Structure 1
Amino acid sequence: MTDVSIIIVNWNTRDILRDCLLSVYAQTQALTYELIVVDNASSDGSAEMVKHEFPLVTLITNSENCGFGVANNQGMRIARGRFVLLLNSDTLVLDGAIQKTLHYADKNPEVGVIGCQAVWPDGRRQNTCLRFANLSLLALSSLLFFREAKPFQIPLLHPDRYLNLDLEQEHNVDIVAGCFFFVRQDVIDKVGMFDEDFFMYGEEAEWCFRILQAGWLIRYFPGAKIVHLYGASSFQVEDVTRINKRKGVLLFMHKTRGLMYAWLANLIMTLGVLLRIPFWVIEDAYQLIAHRKPLRVWDKRMKVIGFHFAGFFAPVWK
């Protein structure tokens, strides 16, 4: 039986995807694996590149962008491995990370999902250990400070982050980031795959919630390392990403805590956006005073405000 099925979802990241695939081949030995690429209707020639340069890769091409969860589910349905690795296209595998994770997983059968250490290209660590959002943490981050201001970029103001986590040590966590998501096939068989109501953002949290409910652990394992460029696809549609992130939070709360909980979360997030309006005005005024081009993002901001106000009348995050 194949040890690991590596699934990579791609949307318009051809050159980055090529580097990712090359790193997998260069850094993965001493195990059997298959590579599955799911292309979400890229327009940059990604699918053609995979077909011609990596003929051994199983390629699934979609006629439209189905989103992160749906595309990964397509790969998982044909996966033959004892384990499945969901790997972002904007990553580079380092120092045998996949076989190290496989070895660790075989030694720790109580662990259902493993995430690894991720670093920026300059070597700085990324915090890929996340926790489930709740109303109190959401209120703290949304209402007390302006998170966008650099002086306030502290973990306490980010409801999905752990405080003071030693990233050199193993930890049981609520969620590991989807850039490197190593999951047992047994978990998939028992718990199921991603909830396809999520387009992008929030699907890992909801899946991890179900996996923990089923009795497995979610483990951060720093013994394996990747480079993660972060957001290579989502940065191409930043305005859509703003809404999808908020949808993901609210949909997660709706599915795990109920409609009223999600409605209260939407209220908190709405107040948080309204509190930020003076900050945005000051920021734009500074740009004008400094003789720079003002930020032309009010249309995007109004879309966010409109999304939250609509949520008071119907669960628009569904």
Structure 2
Amino acid sequence: MDLSIIIVNYNTKELLKQTIQSVIDTTKNIDYEIIVSDNNSTDGSIEMVEEYFPQVNLIKNKDNLGFPKGNNVAIKKSIGRYVLLLNSDTVVIDNCLEKCIKYMNSHKNIGVLGCRVVLKDGQLDHACKRGFPTPESSLFYMLKLYKLFPDSKKFGQYTLSYLHEDEINEVDSLTGAFMMLRKETIDEVGLLDEEFFMYGEDIDWCYRIKEAGWKVMYYPEAKIIHYKGASSKKKRFKTLYEFHRAMILFYDKHYRLKYNIFVTILVYLGVCVKFILSLFVNIFKKRG
């Protein structure tokens, strides 16, 4: 089998239906399977898949396992030469999956490939091509210096704003909304890190893949639409907490031993302040 398409779902019934249908409608010339790993949805998602897509391999998890663990459960059951992580709030355009497989078939050193991901307003989802969040690149990002100097490699380290969105490029990291990997790459570097829950695991995986000598590629010739944040909007505090916890997890795992204690304290303080400010903004939005 060419491709195992893995979709983790949590209470996104209608979007999930749209995602699966877009895969079926646009993918004709490859042998693939769709595996939906449902994290104990209560909105009728399971019943919808059973009714409309009986050909889909449906995994009914007893709890909300989070994004990494939900994917890992499905990866272990997959049989494709390639594995695709695909969000349940996406729409696949044209023959996106066939294009990606064809490109990876002809470039054997690519461990993971990401496509052009656009938001519903047509703008690029910048998470689909980005650098690693080093302390320096994170500071420049928080100060929005990449907006003032979009062509600067120094200030655009995280967003990679200096790389044109129409050009194929090797990057540091992709978005977990669309990541196509070789099965042999997964076998070498291991599964997603389940210490993460719903953020950061994609960056961590790309970091490990690059460390193992594989290339991480952004391939804009293929395209999907991302209706971003469909699952995370339902539990705002949990979302904000996991987002900021992921920052600390990633830093501790990959950077803490590379920097002195002063930098580490500044990173921890920065994340804490950002988390508190985000909570206040969210509270005022609710009251508004």
How does the TM-score come out when normalised to structure 2? Answer: 0.88
The 1:26–1:108 alpha-carbon spacing in structure 2 relative to 1, beyond 3 Å, is same
Q: Distance in 2 between matches of 1:100 and 1:53?
A: 27
Structure 2, gaps ≥5 residues long? none
Residue of structure 2 equivalent to 1:132: 132
Residue of structure 2 equivalent to 1:9: 8
Q: Which of the pair has more CA radius of gyration?
A: 1
Q: Distance in 2 between matches of 1:271 and 1:22?
A: 42
Q: Distance in 2 between matches of 1:40 and 1:7?
A: 13
Residue of structure 2 equivalent to 1:75: 74
Q: Distance in 1 between matches of 2:141 and 2:188?
A: 35
Residue of structure 2 equivalent to 1:242: 240
Alpha-carbon offset, residue 124 of structure 1: 2.9
Residue of structure 2 equivalent to 1:221: 219
Q: Distance in 1 between matches of 2:176 and 2:275?
A: 27
The 1:160–1:253 alpha-carbon spacing in structure 2 relative to 1, beyond 3 Å, is same
Q: Distance in 1 between matches of 2:265 and 2:207?
A: 20
Q: Distance in 2 between matches of 1:174 and 1:180?
A: 15
Q: Distance in 1 between matches of 2:16 and 2:214?
A: 31
Read off the aligned partner of 1:225 and give its amino acid letter.
K
The 1:162–1:48 alpha-carbon spacing in structure 2 relative to 1, beyond 3 Å, is same
Residue of structure 2 equivalent to 1:43: 42
The 1:139–1:119 alpha-carbon spacing in structure 2 relative to 1, beyond 3 Å, is closer
Read off the aligned partner of 2:130 and give its amino acid letter.
L
The 1:159–1:166 alpha-carbon spacing in structure 2 relative to 1, beyond 3 Å, is closer
Alpha-carbon offset, residue 270 of structure 1: 3.2
How does the TM-score come out when normalised to structure 1? Answer: 0.80
Read off the aligned partner of 2:20 and give its amino acid letter.
L
Whether contact under 8 Å (2:5, 2:35) holds in the other structure is yes
Given the alignment of the two structures, is residue 208 of structure 1 paired with residue 210 of structure 2, yes or no? no
Alpha-carbon offset, residue 166 of structure 1: 0.5
Which stretch shows the higher mean deviation, 264-273 or 164-173? 264-273
Residue of structure 2 equivalent to 1:189: 187
Q: Distance in 2 between matches of 1:141 and 1:125?
A: 17
Q: State the superposition RMSD in angstroms.
A: 2.6
Alpha-carbon offset, residue 116 of structure 1: 0.2
Q: Distance in 1 between matches of 2:23 and 2:182?
A: 19
- Residue correspondence of structure 1 range 230-269 to structure 2 within 5 A: 230-258=228-256, 263-269=265-271
Query: How many residue pairs were aligned?
Result: 277
Q: Distance in 1 between matches of 2:149 and 2:240?
A: 20
The 1:262–1:81 alpha-carbon spacing in structure 2 relative to 1, beyond 3 Å, is farther
Read off the aligned partner of 1:116 and give its amino acid letter.
C
Q: Distance in 1 between matches of 2:121 and 2:286?
A: 31
Given the alignment of the two structures, is residue 111 of structure 1 paired with residue 106 of structure 2, yes or no? no
- SS of residue in 1 equivalent to 2:216: strand
Alpha-carbon offset, residue 235 of structure 1: 1.2
* Percentage of identical aligned residues: 38
Residues 258-307 of structure 1 deviation map (CA, whole Å, 9 limit, x = unaligned):
36565441122235567x59xx69x99xxxxxxxxx6457xxxxxxxxxx
Alpha-carbon offset, residue 237 of structure 1: 1.3
Which of 189, 198, 202 is the aligned partner of 2:196?
198
Structure 1, gaps ≥5 residues long? 285-293, 298-318
- SS of residue in 2 equivalent to 1:240: helix
- SS of residue in 1 equivalent to 2:224: strand
Whether contact under 8 Å (1:139, 1:268) holds in the other structure is no
